[in-house]
């Protein structure tokens, strides 16, 4: 059985999120999705999500491509692997060849985990939606 894992904030759920989950599920038998807690988002992104964690978790849980949605309380991907022992990790290609992900690729290679990068949705993102809404409110 191939187990896949991806994670994210999944705030202001949009087509980019759907595509990542759909493509990830097509490549594995079981897809586990870590949804960042509000505390983790504040600590790592220095901002608060628009949608509260419990609601974001419920949205992700309801997606037919997702087998398990769980709280992501730390940004350390190896912690998730220790718990779920996934074979593939899916991530947006905006992280490809970044120092952080090159290091993670090397560490995961030792564990026989393959990192698969999906195209980042250029036209729609939670950041872009938030900016558009802020501009409309001016």
Residue-level pLDDT at 98: 74
Output the CA–CA distances (angstroms, integers) from residue 6 to 23, 131, 137, in the order listed: 11, 25, 33
Interatomic CA distance for residues 45 and 39, integer angstroms: 10
Write out the H or E segment, with its range, that includes residue 133: helix 126-136
Phi, then psi, of 24 in degrees rounded to 5: -65, -45
**How confident is the model over 64-88, as pLDDT tens digits?**
999 999 999 998 999 999 999 999 9
Q: What are phi and psi of 115, to 5 degrees?
A: -95, 125
The CATH number of the domain holding residue 52 is 3.40.50.620
Residue 126 has pLDDT above 80, yes or no: no
How high does pLDDT run on average in the chain? 89
- Tell me the pLDDT tens digit for each residue of 17-56: 999 999 999 999 999 999 999 999 999 988 899 899 999 9
The domain tally of the chain equals: 1
The proportion of the chain whose per-residue pLDDT surpasses 90, expressed as a percent, equals 67
Q: What angle do CA 79, 33, 75 make, to 5 degrees?
A: 35
Model pLDDT, residue 133:
61
Tell me the mean pLDDT in the region 111-130: 77
Pairing of strands 68-72, 88-92: unpaired
CA–CA gap between residue 72 and residue 14 (Å, rounded) = 20
Q: Which domain holds residue 61?
A: 3-136
pLDDT recorded at residue 124: 60
């Amino acid at each position: 059985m191939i187990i896949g894992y991806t994670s994210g904030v999944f705030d202001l759920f949009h087509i980019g999120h759907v595509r990542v989950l759909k493509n990830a599920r097509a490549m594995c038998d079981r897809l586990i999705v870590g949804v960042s807690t509000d505390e983790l988002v504040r600590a790592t992104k220095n901002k608060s999500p628009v949608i509260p964690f419990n609601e974001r978790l419920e949205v992700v849980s309801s997606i037919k491509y997702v087998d398990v949605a769980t709280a992501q309380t730390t940004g350390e991907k190896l912690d998730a692997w220790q718990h779920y022992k996934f074979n593939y990790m899916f991530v947006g290609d905006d992280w490809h060849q970044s120092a952080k992900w090159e290091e993670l690729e090397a560490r995961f290679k030792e564990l026989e985990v393959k990192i698969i990068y999906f195209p980042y949705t250029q036209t729609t993102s939670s950041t872009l939606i938030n900016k558009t809404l802020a501009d409309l409110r001016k």
